[in-house]
Structure 1
Amino acid sequence: MEPDHEVLVVGAGFSGLCVGIRLRRKGVRDFVILDAAPSVGGVWRHNTYPGVAVDIPSATYCYSFEPNPGWTRSFAPGAEVRAYAEHCADKYRLRPHLRLNTRVERAVFDEDADLWRVATTGGEITARFVVSAVGPLDQPKNPDIPGIDDFAGTVLHTARWDHGHDVAGERVAVIGTGASGLQVIPELAGKAAHLDVYQRTPIWVFPKVDFAIPTPVRALFRIAPPVQRLVRLVTAAASEVIMVLGIVHYSKVPFLVRAVEALCRAHLRRQVPDRALRRALTPRYGFGCKRPSFSNRYFPTFMRDDVDLVTTPIDRVTPKGIVTADGREREIDTLVLATGFKILELGAMPPFPVVGLDGVELGAYWDEHRYQTYEGLSVPQAPNFWLMNGPYTVTGASWFSIIEAGATHAVRCIAEARRRRATRMTVKRGPHDAFTRDMRRRMRGTILAQPSCARSNSYYFDRHGDAPYVRPQSGLHVWRRARTFDLDDYSYGP
């Protein structure tokens, strides 16, 4: 039977939009992009909490083929990133392919017809090929704390912020001091009557070179795109040096990680003169075990008289507030959860049930047998299926470089299947297993294999103790592999 569409893409964030752009460039027109939200942008459509912004330099936060000369700051605010997503959807004529307000609930491979049956809130859709382009930062994660559902006040998650609620004059508590907490906490301080910040694990923080990009510079980027591309190349290279040399090749150059840690400690000393507070804010794990961030406002927030850093573990939440392990209850009006996302766990990766050959559900298989892929995208159990941002994909390169590499891989495969007139394309077991073994071997030389990482509470790790969120290779290597991997690593058939 003929499917409803040749290609179905799940997710209209930057990953899904990139796949759509690549498909159009390859001459594929029969594709649809589904998203549960009413507009494009993915994580940047959902995350609108006060202070939200990119936490890497803006120059790298765009497609290589579509530089954005309009960023107003060196670290672009979230509203500008959302506007950039809308711009790309318009410029690359993706609107006719979008089907918004449509959530994917399940995908099942029909082995007789060589197509996917995708159950959605709008009914079943069939497609020859499926690309799951739902980003890893998609499903908000609430903390597993007794009594949290009994809290009588307002509960806000940073990933689903309610702008109709005003915290002015309220007693507010924030649980979580990761990347989103680091941005929202300074925004709440001063507006709330009092702010309690509950920290389980400190975060490594770089000084943030954040400034408004002058209008003449933006004009230069607009009339001379190669200048902006050069800036993008330089900032991406700096990130690569820290990530690849310091984290991936930690066993060879541990001094680089120590130098980065010294920089972060010096930043903390300059901003927090109180020794006891400084000690509480200093990580006890190596740089790279957990996602670091940039800020000039986070540390000074804790010097305010109306802000308390609470490091005593939380025992439970009551209708009136939070009780810590020492028995003290702090009453609050609003509880803010800056607790991140479900990532390496059942139901989150893949983000919906994917039932492949012989009835194997991919998420359950990974949960039992450890995460494993070929080039971070495909598995033998799921023909005609690619998972963007899957296990072993994230490098130190720009997030957009990672996205573009994944889209290039998936679309190369689809184009090859079309060329061969094949209705089924499946990665072979040998190349798949070889790639997974190589990733696990390389991981042994990274900072993530160091004992100190056990104290980091990092989402890089799964329940098996693996760190499949990270790909222990350079971004340049991944870029090259996406364009040169052997297409005969896949089998083809009618």
Structure 2
Amino acid sequence: MGGDMPWPQVAVGNKTHTEAAVVIIGGGISGMCTAIDLIKRNNCRNFIILEKSGGLGGTWRDNKYPGCCCDVFSHLYSLSFEQNPDWTREYPGQEEILQYLMKVARKYDLYRYVRFNTAVDSAKWDDADKKWKTTVSVQGAKDAEFGSTYTITSDFLVSAIGQLNVPRVPDIPGLTEFKGKIMHSARWDWSYDIRGKNVAIIGNGATAAQIIPEIAKEVGHLTIHQRTPNWVVPRLDAPIAPWRRNLYKYVPMVRWRKRADYMDFRESVYEAVFNNASATAQDFETLSKEHMHTQLADRPDLWEKLQPNYSIGCKRIIISDDYFPVFQRDNARLETGRIDKITANGIVTDGKEEDYDLIVLATGFRTLEFMHPIEVTGSAGRSLSSIWKSGGQALYGVTVESLPNFGMLYGPNTNLGHNSIILMIEAQSRYINALIEEVITARSRGHNLVIMPKATRIEEFNDEIQAQLRRSSFADPNCNSWYKNKDGKITNNWSGTVVEYQKLLSNVNWSDFDLSGNEADQVASRQKTHIGRVVEESVVSYQTMGLTALSLAAVCAGIALRNAGRLRLR
């Protein structure tokens, strides 16, 4: 299959079905970015992407609920090396994002590397062989006839599962007793006709705020069960005119500048979500209150119920223009009482039962377990569950104690409350590919290399960021969020800006790792490998650009006048 190409340029074929240089778990943005970097940076095609669903796209394939869209500007929510000039709106919808990702996958021929309907059951590091053994279950009926389970051996393992993967079902008594329809937002059943139905939605976070305005137009009655109110700011979404799309396509410098402007703005929001005492945070709180009072001017009775009593940024800020207006509708009602239980017919709230046809669970994901439900076992037989018994942590959110030749994207403490996660993913992919390069280079020489982060360095790094996070809005005791565990440890969010994170990952410091194998000394002797980063923030101000343009215009005018003078003299 590979012809005369050397390993690892040879793709995995039939005879090597259970062997690969790299195994990537997950076919979402993280897995795709890692795969593309393997091809572009390492000239490596000897990898497998394991995807448990039937298509690429990750969260943008799984989440197909009404109103599903991104809360990051479309021109910032794309890979830096595959910017999309054709976004039709300022904020992209789920279907458009998925179309974009599928287009990228086709361009880089990623489908040939993917094994769909293949769920990872376990991943174990073999200390003797210095390899990962990843066991999978084949979920496609016909494919399972060839073998329902098998194990893949690889030199390197990458987790591209992310944090928003496994739906979280609330622990409410009687949930399984309900005789009507129940669906989680991440598993929306479009075959169910909601028109005219009596519907309850449990949850009022970012997902619920997108679903509620859409289904309120169609259902007979909608009850929104709110546990905690959220900060909501204007979205100001709008279509992108065809002439602007053409400008972005044919004059890419304009698109690059637009992306830089969005990057600058989003980075400026960091102060608001991190430090509630900052002027930026106070401005956003004022903006949110005015937004609610304006849109619910006739419903002051709801103001107190919808007003948070915690720091802005402690939970994800909702960006919406159509959430508050729902409460002006005759067929919508806000319920802030405590849910006692669910019965066969409906929901009991503060002792009062109401019947429903449909209950929507907009209750998020199991974000704190990261690689759940995969059983991961590292060096010396250490399980990931024991390593993370006090909560997930990783060096730079990428490498994990006792897990050799392993990297993860969108891992512990890499989530953002202010900017595009793709900016973080690209930095992580570059960093992981720098590690992979050393491992596969060693193997291509007939040698081996084992890279494992030092436990002391991981503790030192996490002590630093936890100290910062404890002073942040994320730590506000007045709110619970998916950012922190039951002990209050913030396991999900990054403590700084995107640019700070990108700079942190722009070099591999080999002193961070315990290196072993017969190529260890050679790698360690380099001390550092420079990777670099994508610079997307503005480096030239509009004022400088304007002065430069005027200077160029003046030079051009001077040349034109001089040439005209010469022509007259002739």
TM-score, normalized by the shorter chain, greater than 0.5? yes
- Code of the aligned partner of 2:427: A
56, 79, 86: which is aligned to 1:40? Answer: 56
- Code of the aligned partner of 1:392: N
Change (3 A) 1:285 1:435: same
1:103 matched residue in structure 2: 119
The answer to whether 1:411 aligns with 2:433 is yes
2:326 matched residue in structure 1: 301
- For the Cα contact (< 8 Å) 2:414–2:493, is it kept in 1? yes
- Code of the aligned partner of 1:138: N
The answer to whether 1:431 aligns with 2:426 is no
- Code of the aligned partner of 2:168: K
Task: Tell me the distance in 2 between the aligned counterparts of 1:473 and 1:238.
Answer: 15
1:188 matched residue in structure 2: 215
2:25 matched residue in structure 1: 10
- Code of the aligned partner of 1:461: K
1:23 matched residue in structure 2: 38
1:57 matched residue in structure 2: 73
The answer to whether 1:263 aligns with 2:284 is no
> Residue deviations 1:188-216, cap 9 Å, x none?
11211111110001111110111010001
- Code of the aligned partner of 1:360: R
1:433, distance to aligned residue in structure 2 (A): 2.0
Task: Tell me the distance in 1 between the aligned counterparts of 2:373 and 2:427.
Answer: 20
1:351, distance to aligned residue in structure 2 (A): 4.8
Change (3 A) 1:239 1:195: same
1:83 matched residue in structure 2: 99
178, 191, 199: which is aligned to 1:151? Answer: 178
1:445 matched residue in structure 2: 471
456, 460, 467: which is aligned to 2:479? Answer: 456
Task: Tell me the distance in 1 between the aligned counterparts of 2:287 and 2:349.
Answer: 33
- For the Cα contact (< 8 Å) 1:46–1:160, is it kept in 2? yes
1:315 matched residue in structure 2: 340
3-state SS in 1 of match to 2:134:
strand
Task: Tell me the distance in 2 between the aligned counterparts of 1:6 and 1:178.
Answer: 41
The aligned runs of 1:143-182 (5 Å cut-off) are: 143-182=170-209
Task: Tell me the distance in 2 between the aligned counterparts of 1:302 and 1:2.
Answer: 56
3-state SS in 2 of match to 1:142:
coil
Structure 2: tracts of 5 or more residues without a match: 1-15, 139-149, 518-570
1:228 matched residue in structure 2: 255
1:394, distance to aligned residue in structure 2 (A): 2.1
489, 493, 498: which is aligned to 1:470? Answer: 493
- Find the structure with the greater CA-based Rg: 2
2:534 matched residue in structure 1: none
The aligned runs of 1:382-421 (5 Å cut-off) are: 382-395=403-416, 396-420=418-442, 421=447
Structure 2 length as normaliser, TM-score? 0.82
Change (3 A) 1:289 1:408: same
Change (3 A) 1:374 1:2: farther
- For the Cα contact (< 8 Å) 1:417–1:492, is it kept in 2? no
> Residue deviations 1:375-414, cap 9 Å, x none?
1111221001112111111243321101101111111111
- For the Cα contact (< 8 Å) 1:7–1:130, is it kept in 2? yes
- For the Cα contact (< 8 Å) 2:122–2:376, is it kept in 1? yes
- For the Cα contact (< 8 Å) 2:121–2:374, is it kept in 1? yes
Aligned residue pairs, count: 484
The answer to whether 1:375 aligns with 2:396 is yes
Task: Tell me the distance in 1 between the aligned counterparts of 2:478 and 2:463.
Answer: 26
1:44, distance to aligned residue in structure 2 (A): 0.5
- For the Cα contact (< 8 Å) 1:3–1:115, is it kept in 2? no
Task: Tell me the distance in 2 between the aligned counterparts of 1:3 and 1:493.
Answer: 25
Task: Tell me the distance in 2 between the aligned counterparts of 1:466 and 1:432.
Answer: 16
> Residue deviations 1:334-354, cap 9 Å, x none?
111111111014xx4455121
- For the Cα contact (< 8 Å) 1:176–1:199, is it kept in 2? yes
1:363, distance to aligned residue in structure 2 (A): 2.7
1:14, distance to aligned residue in structure 2 (A): 0.3
The answer to whether 1:205 aligns with 2:205 is no
Structure 1 length as normaliser, TM-score? 0.95
3-state SS in 2 of match to 1:259:
helix
Task: Tell me the distance in 1 between the aligned counterparts of 2:110 and 2:22.
Answer: 14
Change (3 A) 1:89 1:219: same
- Code of the aligned partner of 1:204: W
2:538 matched residue in structure 1: none
Instruction: Kindly indicate whether structure 1 or structure 2 has the higher relative contact order, using CA contacts under 8 Å at least 6 residues apart.
Output: 1
- For the Cα contact (< 8 Å) 1:376–1:391, is it kept in 2? yes
> Residue deviations 1:191-245, cap 9 Å, x none?
11111110001111110111010001111111122222211121122111112x2
Change (3 A) 1:193 1:397: closer
- For the Cα contact (< 8 Å) 2:155–2:439, is it kept in 1? no
> Residue deviations 1:449-471, cap 9 Å, x none?
3xxx3232210111221112111
The aligned runs of 1:321-340 (5 Å cut-off) are: 321-325=346-350, 327-340=351-364
Task: Tell me the distance in 2 between the aligned counterparts of 1:250 and 1:430.
Answer: 32
- For the Cα contact (< 8 Å) 1:237–1:397, is it kept in 2? no
Task: Tell me the distance in 1 between the aligned counterparts of 2:56 and 2:90.
Answer: 23
Task: Tell me the distance in 1 between the aligned counterparts of 2:166 and 2:314.
Answer: 22
3-state SS in 1 of match to 2:118:
coil
1:91, distance to aligned residue in structure 2 (A): 0.8
- For the Cα contact (< 8 Å) 2:49–2:114, is it kept in 1? yes
- For the Cα contact (< 8 Å) 1:174–1:197, is it kept in 2? yes
3-state SS in 2 of match to 1:126:
strand
60, 65, 71: which is aligned to 2:87? Answer: 71
1:256, distance to aligned residue in structure 2 (A): 2.0
1:483 matched residue in structure 2: 506
- For the Cα contact (< 8 Å) 2:434–2:508, is it kept in 1? no
Change (3 A) 1:241 1:351: farther
- What RMSD in Å do the two structures reach over aligned CA positions? 1.7
> Residue deviations 1:77-123, cap 9 Å, x none?
11011111111111112121111110111101111101111110131
2:110 matched residue in structure 1: 94
3-state SS in 2 of match to 1:168:
coil
- For the Cα contact (< 8 Å) 1:370–1:464, is it kept in 2? no
3-state SS in 2 of match to 1:341:
coil
The answer to whether 1:286 aligns with 2:311 is yes
- Code of the aligned partner of 1:433: E
1:112 matched residue in structure 2: 128
- Code of the aligned partner of 2:79: Y
- For the Cα contact (< 8 Å) 2:213–2:323, is it kept in 1? yes
Task: Tell me the distance in 2 between the aligned counterparts of 1:148 and 1:351.
Answer: 22
1:250, distance to aligned residue in structure 2 (A): 4.8
- For the Cα contact (< 8 Å) 2:51–2:119, is it kept in 1? yes
3-state SS in 1 of match to 2:258:
helix
Task: Tell me the distance in 2 between the aligned counterparts of 1:322 and 1:446.
Answer: 36
- Code of the aligned partner of 1:20: A
Task: Tell me the distance in 1 between the aligned counterparts of 2:342 and 2:17.
Answer: 54
Change (3 A) 1:129 1:266: same
